[in-house]
Amino acid sequence: MSKIRFTEPNREILARRDSIINDLTRLVDPAGLITSADECRAYETDALTAYRKMPLAVVLPKTTEEVSAVLKYCHDTGVKVVPRGAGTSLAGGAIPSEDAVVLGLSKMNRVLAVNYDDRFIRVEAGVTNLSVTAVVAENGFFYGPDPSSQLACTIGGNIANNSGGAHCLKYGVTTNNLLGVRMVLIDGSIIDLGGDYLDSAGLDLLGLVVGSEGQLGIVTEATLRILKSAEGARPVLFGFPSCEGAGKAVADVIAAGIIPVAIEYMDKAAIEICEAFAKAGYPLDVEALLIVEVEGSDAEMDATLADITAIARANGATTVRESRSAIETAAIWKGRKSAFGATGRVADYLCMDGTVPTGKLSYVLAEISKIVQRHGLRVANVFHAGDGNIHPLILYNANDPSQQSKAEAAGDDILRLCVEVGGCLTGEHGVGIEKRDLMGCQFDDADLAQQIRVRAAFDPRWLLNTDKVFPLDFRCQG
């Protein structure tokens, strides 16, 4: 294991640890400064637990001003900073460096304003994705992007990774639902980008910030678009005797110009895992399952479903089952959204995240099973098929170092395959450390150099989330 390298920690910073901590005590509330080894350890990793680094210290500010004071201090004294939301990154985006201070937003979890007339909500960056919807649900509104981790992940993390979810096929990902941010730059200056409405004057810097993985600044507040919930919604389960049939059905639905709210894919391995956990009534006698959700008035749903069912049948669907109650609908989604966690019951996994053109889904799925077999491992597939955003879960035994490296090698092969078929390395989980060294497969040197120049314009000393996103070697040339 430990294929992924970290830069050598700066010894001079390590030597100054005590005085840095001493200085930080003056900048944040004592309850928000964590320095003991035992307590810092809780922050040494995120959801990519194969990699761990103990941070220099952890600060949990309560206000934008505290964030600003800490960043200014770190900037002036050359200390690296790793932003952290809920630590659910699957790409190691929130994993610290030994010479870095982790700046966590978890104490900044207040709702600042809700405006139903203009349909926006303003929250602090540490608010979880699901609690945004929870706040507005009683008035019939919701927040569109719904990562499977929505119960726990924060809006700040969502912005940094441009997160998406099952329902983003219709509603778009984070970037399509973010109206504005308040952000602190590494030198401590506080800027506001965007506003309370879609699109704003000047350069689209907001677009730049979305997906920047904490390297351009730390988001402390966000204004989000909220939407009126549809009159009704109905998920339908389509079971297929072959993965190819299911993949082809997705491609045909998209090609026909039909946009359901969600098209989620599960293969047999994933169906078994999720059914055991959620008892959602997924068919167990099929090779692949599509969960397709439609919404609107009954007539609208019936019409769309008739079209989709015809396509599914033409591709060999053997089971077609509509949800008949709110409880059943909840169970169907609970099973899907818990898929990764539930996989933990049977094995450790590496969750891959790439995007492929929907027309290539069947081919890619077949290739993935060959790749994983070649490395002597197993795979479970559960993903946002409508967007072509695949998540093969490579199953392995984390206590066996040889399996860890096989899993990582298989993962790399899968991501290269995504790029080869005209897709991309990341769907929604970000690059982090996990895909950093594969960036060269996707971008040529000129592309990377330009991205690095943009990054350096915000953070010339490379203090923010230093080891992430850009290949370590390339950065020196950049």
Partner 1 sequence: MQTNFSLTALADAHVSESEKILRACVHCGFCTATCPTYLLLGDEADSPRGRIYLIKDMLEEEKPATPQVVEHIDRCLTCLSCMTTCPSGVHYMHLVDHARAHIARTYTRPLPDRLLRGMLAKVLPFPGRLRLALRVATVSRPIRKWFANLPGGTQLAAMIELSSSFKRRRPTRRLPGATVDRPRGRVALLSGCAQQVLGQNINEAAIRLLTRHGIEVVQPIDEGCCGALVQHLGYESRALDAARHNVDVWTREIENGGLDAIVVTTSGCGTVIKDYGFLLRNDNAYAQKAARISALARDITEFLHELPLQDGVRTTGQVVAYHSACSMQHGQQVRDQPKSLLRRMGFVVREVPEGHICCGSAGTYNVLQPEIANRLRARKVTNIEKVKPQIIASGNLGCITQIGAGTGIPVVHTVELVDWAMGGPLPDVLGRRLG
Ligand X SMILES: Cc1cc2nc3c(=O)[nH]c(=O)nc-3n(C[C@H](O)[C@H](O)[C@H](O)COP(=O)(O)OP(=O)(O)OC[C@H]3O[C@@H](n4cnc5c(N)ncnc54)[C@H](O)[C@@H]3O)c2cc1C
| Interface positions with ligand SF4 (CB under 6 A) | 341, 344
Closer residue to partner 1 in complex, CB, 36/306: 36
Q: Is 239 in the site for ligand X (CB under 6 A)?
A: no
Asked if 139 touches partner 1 (CB under 8 A), the answer is no
- Residue 107: contacted member of ligand X, partner 1, ligand SF4, none (CB under 5 to 8 Å, by partner type): partner 1
Least distance between ligand SF4 and beta carbon 45 (Å): 11
What character string, x for contact with partner 1 (CB under 8 A) and - otherwise, covers 42-81?
xx-xxx-xx---------x---------------------
Give the residue, chosen from 78, 341, 376, 422, that forms a contact with partner 1 under the rule CB under 8 A: 341
Member of 349, 383, 462, 470 binding partner 1 (CB under 8 A)? 349
88 belongs to the binding site for ligand X (CB under 6 A): yes
Q: What is the 3-state secondary structure (H, E, C) of the chain?
A: CCCCCCCCCCHHHHHCHHHHHHHHHCCCCHHHEECCHHHHHCCCCCCCCCCCCCCCEEECCCCHHHHHHHHHHHHHHCCEEEEECCCCCCCCCCCCCCCEEEEECCCCCCEEEEECCCCEEEEECCCEHHHHHHHHHCCCEECCCCCCCCCCCEHHHHHHHCCCCCCHHHHCCHHHCEEEEEEECCCCCEEEEECCCCCCCCCCHHHHHCCCCCCCCEEEEEEEECEECCCCEEEEEEEECCHHHHHHHHHHHHHCCCCCCEEEEEEHHHHHHHHHHHCCCCCCCCCEEEEEEEECCHHHHHHHHHHHHHHHHHCCCCEEEECCCHHHHHHHHHHHHCHHHHHCCCCEEEECCEECCHHHHHHHHHHHHHHHHHCCCEEEEEEEHHHCEECEEEEECCCCHHHHHHHHHHHHHHHHHHHHCCCECCCCCCCCCCCHHHHHHHCCHHHHHHHHHHHHHHCCCCCECCCCCCCHHHHHHC
Q: Tell me how far, at minimum, the Cβ of 47 lies from ligand SF4, in Å.
A: 8
Q: Does 219 bind ligand X (CB under 6 A)?
A: yes
**Stretch near partner 1 under the rule CB under 8 A, chosen from 36-44, 160-168, 378-386, 465-473:** 36-44
Nearer to ligand SF4, 140 or 341 (CB): 341
The residue count for binding ligand X (CB under 6 A) is 38
Which residues contact ligand X (rule: CB under 6 A)?
46-47, 82-90, 93-94, 105, 125, 147-149, 153-154, 156-158, 160-161, 163-165, 213-214, 218-219, 340-341, 428-430, 465
Which residues contact partner 1 (rule: CB under 8 A)?
31, 34, 36, 38-39, 41-43, 45-47, 49-50, 60, 86-88, 104, 106-107, 109, 126, 128, 130, 149, 151-153, 277, 338-345, 348-349, 398-399
